[in-house]
Amino acid sequence: MVKVGIIGAGYIAASHADAYDTHPDAELVYVTDPRPEKSEALARRYGATVVEHSDELLASDVDVVSVCTPSPTHAALTIAAVAAGKHVLCEKPLARSLADAERMVEAARRGPGMLMVGHVSRFEPDHRAARDAVMSGRIGALRMMSQSITSGFPTWSQDGWFADPERSGGPLVDLAIHSFDYLTWVCDAVPEQVHAVGSSRPDGLTDYAVATVRYDNGALAVVETSWAHPPGHGLVVTTELAGTEGRLAWDSAGTSVGAMNTSSGATRHFSQLGSRGFHRQIAAFLEAVMTGGPPPVSAQEGLLALQISLAAVESLRTRSVVRLSDIAARADS
Amino acid sequence: MPATVDTVLLGCAHALHARSYAGALEAGRSGRLVGVYDESAELGGRLAVELGVDYYRDPQHLLESLRPAAAIVCSSTSEHRGLVTMAAAHGVHILCEKPLASSPRDASAMVRACGDAGVQLHTAFVSRFYPVLQEVRAVITGGELGQVRGMVGGNRGRPPLPPRYPRWITEAERAGGGALIDHSVHVLDAMRFVSGLEASEVAAEIGTLFGDTEVEDSALVSVVFDSGAVASIDPSWSVMPESPWDYDFYLRVLGTEGSLSIATGRESVSVSGQYDGRSFVHVPFEPDIDQTMVDAFLRSVQEGHVLDPCASGEDGLRAVELATAAYESAATGQFVPVPRDRDG
């Protein structure tokens, strides 16, 4: 059995815990969070034990660690865990800054632990089916891509850290990074330049933006991201991939397999996606752990997606078209 | 009953649209087609015979002989300015194909010429005549969405290639550009129409990604409006032969108080069955917006002013200004201010 520890017991940790819990080869052993009530609630639900500090968890006999903390804390925890020989599944974004992300890439290179980044979109069945269709040549060479992921403001962040641009980076860093990683993975090209336009709410958080990415093979991508939609909107994902021989597209509404209306006025959609993405992601992670294989999503790939996000943020700040090479150079200097 | 509006076709190089507008004249009750001009005797002569009217090789001669009240200009874009200013000088009201011109200079000269002559200049922004777009405008004007913060829209189509389309549409000189100017003008106009906002800055990427046309077949255009609201437009000719639909038109709007999303292509039935080389098609049942637009143009002529929701020459000019700035952005790799001709 692979022994598992989870650092950070917030919203996304529950998805990790559920996936480990249902996996036949994994056992969730320890949970830690600065808020004991959060770690206790998660541990109770899955029969795990609470430890007070992440140091204790890293000193324990767990084989793998999921890092589910706010983005700015990813680097220190992940680097320590990898150095301690733990295999780490770090939530996206890899880090909040390029400097942190680059240190994590270096830590992953040194090991001895393995580092995987939690770009769960790659494991969602809809996203995977679309990529398989592209890879099997069904739409020819991929030329134009678009993804829109829009929702209301996420209510679950501890102390409201999502609302703090310094800590979360807003939806361009926390949400659109799913699209940046996925589209880059699907088109198998190198992102070269980015521009973005966005709209900020009164407190200054840019909670709506559209980013345009040009790749080195000429392909273009446009990504809409929002935490600004009204609560009734839900989470809406719309994706389109256009190639020289055809086009594929899907959206959340179109892939919901059914709906139920009740006298309360509420509508429930029977989306089949649910937790499948997380289950597949963690299965792929554990498979790599058990076979000593490479991480299914590497730190280098997490860094690349973060570069696109931060280039988009920089484009918004300076109202300019930003080359990724400039972003990377700035982080190095 | 107002007088029937005698109307001529000035240029029919955009044969597909010329035929559709002529059909609308025929089907409607407000006007009638009385003559056709085109620089090509082959193209213009054939269409005139088909439509049962006289063909003129010289537009001046046509305007003097027939003394029409209105003209529909469907020449190549580079010919718009000459034909519109000539018609204006003859006191003729004009519906001009989009884009209004291939440069803001030409477009604003056309707007001024029509203003000076006291004739109406309409731009053929048909999307305004989708009932749903007017509903969206009413929702936004009524304040239900609050202040507009962001918009994403698209109007994609098949590459406009021969034999269905004339060669000039994919020639930079005569069309003023490719997919960017061809389709983004529709979407920008729809955004201006529903929001009342004006563009102030633009950034764009263009590419010839799907075919080998001389002009770009793909573009992504990002817009900053003067209110601070933002938008993104996909005007690409990215629809391949295998596609079950020919073109689309969609718009998503985020406001401070809500959001909405429309896609006109949903007004269609999905048909499986071997027909015309395809086995699966969306057969649209959307309203005939060409007909509604031509009717509204003719009623405007009868009533003596541009009726809502017709697009004016100024509306056409605004779209050309944005497209031109977008080309500059794509060439320079920078955000570019959208110049606004205050006279126009």
When scoring B152, B213, B270 by the number of chain A Cβ atoms within 10 A, the one with the most, hence best to mutate, is B152
Interacting residues of B150 by C-beta distance below 8 A, sequence separation 6+: A198, A199, A208, A210, A224, A226, A228, B229, B230, B231, B253, B254
CATH topology of domain A122-277+306-328: Dihydrodipicolinate Reductase; domain 2 (3.30.360)
Interacting residues of A281 by C-beta distance below 8 A, sequence separation 6+: A19, A89, A118, A120, A122, A123, A296
Shortest Cα distance, chain A CAs vs residue B78, angstroms: 29
**Token couple for A62:** 């767990």
Q: Do A228 and B149 touch (CB under 8 A)?
A: yes
Q: Do B230 and A198 touch (CB under 8 A)?
A: yes
Q: Do B232 and A219 touch (CB under 8 A)?
A: no
CA proximity to A130, closest of A176, A187, A91: A187
Do B69 and B6 contact (CB within 8 A), yes or no?
A: yes
Specify the pLDDT at position B245: 95
Q: Do B238 and A193 touch (CB under 8 A)?
A: no
Q: Which residues of A touch B230 (CB under 8 A)?
A: 197-199, 208-210
Specify the pLDDT at position B301: 98
Euclidean distance between CA atoms A86 and A81, whole angstroms: 5
Chain B touched by A183 (CB under 8 Å):
no
Rama region for B67: left / alpha / beta (φ>0; ψ in -120 to 50; rest) = left
CA proximity to B153, closest of A234, A227, A146, A208: A146
Specify the pLDDT at position A131: 98
pLDDT tens digits for range B163-222:
889 999 999 999 999 999 999 999 999 999 999 999 999 999 999 999 999 999 999 999
Chain B touched by A242 (CB under 8 Å):
yes
SS3 B342: coil
Shortest Cα distance, chain A CAs vs residue B201, angstroms: 10
Interacting residues of A135 by C-beta distance below 8 A, sequence separation 6+: none
Lowest mean pLDDT among A135-144, A150-159, A282-291: A150-159
Q: How confident is the model at residue B242 (pLDDT cuts 50, 70, 90)?
A: confident
Q: Do B236 and A242 touch (CB under 8 A)?
A: yes
Specify the pLDDT at position B276: 84
Do B293 and B126 contact (CB within 8 A), yes or no?
A: yes
Euclidean distance between CA atoms B59 and B71, whole angstroms: 11
Q: Is the pLDDT score of B259 beyond 70? A: yes
Domain ranges in chain A? 2-118, 122-277+306-328
Q: Do A242 and B210 touch (CB under 8 A)?
A: yes
Shortest Cα distance, chain A CAs vs residue B4, angstroms: 47
Amino acid at A13: A
When CB atoms are compared, the residue of B210, B231, B234 closest to A244 is B210
Specify the pLDDT at position B180: 98
Q: Do A224 and B232 touch (CB under 8 A)?
A: yes
Do B215 and B247 contact (CB within 8 A), yes or no?
A: no
Specify the pLDDT at position A333: 57
Interface of B with A (CB under 8 A): 149-150, 152, 201, 203, 205, 207, 209-210, 218, 220, 222-224, 228-232, 234, 236, 238-240, 242-243, 252, 254, 257-259, 329, 333-335
Chain B touched by A138 (CB under 8 Å):
no
Q: Which residues of A touch B220 (CB under 8 A)?
A: 212, 220, 222
Euclidean distance between CA atoms B75 and B212, whole angstroms: 24
When CB atoms are compared, the residue of A196, A218, A246 closest to B240 is A246
Q: Is the pLDDT score of A277 beyond 60? A: yes
Q: Which residues of B touch A320 (CB under 8 A)?
A: 334-335
First to last CA, chain B: 34
Q: Do A247 and B238 touch (CB under 8 A)?
A: yes
Specify the pLDDT at position B343: 53
Question: What domains, with CATH codes, occur in chain B?
Answer: 5-126+290-307 (3.40.50.720), 129-288+321-337 (3.30.360.10)
Do A74 and A67 contact (CB within 8 A), yes or no?
A: yes
Specify the pLDDT at position A332: 60
Q: Do B240 and A199 touch (CB under 8 A)?
A: no
Q: What is the DSSP letter of B247?
A: B
Interchain CB contacts (distance < 8 Å): A and B? 109
In this structure, the strands spanning B336-337 and A236-243 are unpaired
Do B77 and B176 contact (CB within 8 A), yes or no?
A: yes
Q: Which residues of A touch B218 (CB under 8 A)?
A: 143-144, 220
pLDDT tens digits for range B66-108:
999 999 999 999 999 999 999 999 999 999 999 999 999 999 9
Chain B residue with minimum CA distance to A233: B259
Which CA distances in Å does B100 have to A219, B23, B185, B317? 30, 22, 9, 7
The residues facing A64 across adjacent strands are A4, A87
Q: Do B230 and A150 touch (CB under 8 A)?
A: no
| HSE-CB for B50 with a 13 A CA cutoff | 14
Average pLDDT over residues A255-274: 83
Do A62 and A30 contact (CB within 8 A), yes or no?
A: yes
Q: Which residues of B touch A220 (CB under 8 A)?
A: 205, 207, 209, 218, 220
Average pLDDT over residues B322-335: 98
pLDDT tens digits for range A91-134:
999 999 999 999 999 999 999 999 999 999 999 999 999 999 99
The residues facing B150 across adjacent strands are B230, B254
Q: Chain-wide mean pLDDT for chain A?
A: 95
Q: How many residues does chain A have?
A: 333
When CB atoms are compared, the residue of B152, B205, B334 closest to A148 is B152
Q: Do A199 and B228 touch (CB under 8 A)?
A: yes
SS3 B47: helix
Q: Do B209 and A209 touch (CB under 8 A)?
A: no
CA proximity to A191, closest of A316, A326, A333, A330: A326
Q: Is the pLDDT score of B1 beyond 80? A: no
Measured over the CA atoms of residue B59, residue B60, residue B66 and residue B70, the dihedral's sign is positive
Do B11 and B76 contact (CB within 8 A), yes or no?
A: yes
Chain B touched by A171 (CB under 8 Å):
no
Q: Which residues of B touch A228 (CB under 8 A)?
A: 149-150, 254
DSSP notation for A192-207: EEEEEEEEE-TTS-EE
**Angle, CA of A323, A164 and A150, to the nearest 5°:** 70
When CB atoms are compared, the residue of A144, A195, A224 closest to B152 is A224
Note the Cα B20 to chain centre separation in Å.
13
Q: Do B149 and A208 touch (CB under 8 A)?
A: yes
Q: Which residues of B touch A229 (CB under 8 A)?
A: 254, 259
Which ranges of A176-332 does DSSP label H, i.e. alpha helix? 176-187, 252-255, 276-291, 299-318, 324-332
pLDDT tens digits for range A139-153:
999 999 999 999 999
Q: Do B222 and A198 touch (CB under 8 A)?
A: no
Give pTM, 2 decimals. 0.95
Q: Which residues of A touch B258 (CB under 8 A)?
A: 230
Q: Is the pLDDT score of B223 beyond 70? A: yes
Which CA distances in Å does A118 have to A13, A43, A188, A296? 12, 21, 19, 9
Chain B touched by A220 (CB under 8 Å):
yes
pLDDT tens digits for range A173-218:
999 999 999 999 999 999 999 999 999 999 999 999 999 999 999 9
CATH topology of domain A2-118: Rossmann fold (3.40.50)
Q: Is the pLDDT score of A330 beyond 80? A: no
**Token couple for B342:** 């205050």
Specify the pLDDT at position B342: 62
Average pLDDT over residues B248-253: 98
Euclidean distance between CA atoms B108 and B103, whole angstroms: 9
**Token couple for B118:** 């006291």
What kind and span of H or E run contains A68?
Answer: none
Q: Which residues of A touch B257 (CB under 8 A)?
A: 230
Say if A2-118 and A122-277+306-328 have the same CATH topology. Answer: no
When scoring B201, B205, B256 by the number of chain A Cβ atoms within 10 A, the one with the most, hence best to mutate, is B205
Specify the pLDDT at position B280: 93
